[in-house]
Amino acid sequence: MTLLLTAVLLAGTPADSLCDRAANLFFNRHLAPDNLENARRLLAEVRALAPKHERGLYLWSRLHVQLGDLAKTKRDKFRLYERARAIADTLKRLNPNNPDGVMWWAVAQARIGQTRGVLNSLFMVPTLKREFGRVLELDPKYATAYDAFGVLYCELPAFAGGDLALSEEYLVRGLQIDPNYTLMRLDLAKTYIKQGRIDDARTQLNYVLATTRPTFPADCILDDQPEARELLDRLDRR
């Protein structure tokens, strides 16, 4: 009986297997045009099969954030980001100590704020700080939370608490945890540009372009490296 139980535990559940397949497709969506849609279908299966599956909820929320990023209209962006937030909220209520639920609720909330515009979303800032901080309480090595703090302090106007030095501090700490997180390195370059540290920005942008084993391959290939090239071109034209 013990051997049988061990075998079952090692094999995992059907929902675990579906999540593994969906995550592989989602994080490698640059490899084939249907990967994102196929990931969506697999995660929809997880939702039907195991609606309280924590990893399934995390991936389902993250996928909806990505769909919101790709949406063409503000209306569609709001709809998808709000859906992502609701899914993450389900995970938060199911397990308040799961950092993925807290993080992706906050990411979706931040995206809603970005879509509205910074000045129309300043009321969100205390909530976002609280949620990002909660993620780091739950998992001090959760790199996305450092990136989120870094971007927040970079993008906020000074009168609302923007602080480029604090932005840099969070981003550098996050990169110490995950040096191949190319979006965070890109965000550090943007902070350096705002600080007038152009050579430091170039170093970070070139590092993004030289990264061969990024933490999130699709984000790197489809978004981060193209933006790094564009920023380098702009800096060269100064």
CA distance 229 to 124: 32
The amino acid at 7: A
What's the helix, strand, coil split of the chain in %, to 5? 80, 0, 20
pTM of the model: 0.91
233: nearest Cα among 187, 210, 202: 202
The amino acid at 175: L
Paired tokens of 25: 């497709």
DSSP string, 11-33: H--HHHHHHHHHHHHHHTGGG-T
Mean pLDDT computed over 1-30: 75
CATH topology classification for 12-119: 1.25.40
CA distance 42 to 47: 9
Domain ranges in the chain are: 12-119, 141-238
CATH topology classification for 141-238: 1.25.40
Neighbours of 78 (CB within 10 A): 16
CA distance 109 to 2: 45
pLDDT for 90 equals 98
Q: Which has more pLDDT, 73 or 11?
A: 73
3-state secondary structure 133-180: HHHHHHCCCCHHHHHHHHHHHHHCCHHHCCCHHHHHHHHHHHHHHCCC
Q: Render pLDDT for 76-114 as a digit per residue (tens, 0 to 9).
A: 999 999 999 999 999 999 999 999 999 999 999 999 999
Q: Render pLDDT for 64-83 as a digit per residue (tens, 0 to 9).
A: 999 999 999 999 999 999 99
CA distance 166 to 188: 11
pLDDT for 94 equals 98
Say what angle helices 125-138 and 99-116 make with each other, to 10 degrees. Answer: 160
pLDDT band at 7 (very low <50, low <70, confident <90, very high): very low
Q: Is the pLDDT of residue 192 over 60?
A: yes
The amino acid at 62: R
Find the angle CA(20)-CA(6)-CA(48) to the nearest 5 degrees: 40
Q: Do domains 12-119 and 141-238 have the same CATH topology?
A: yes
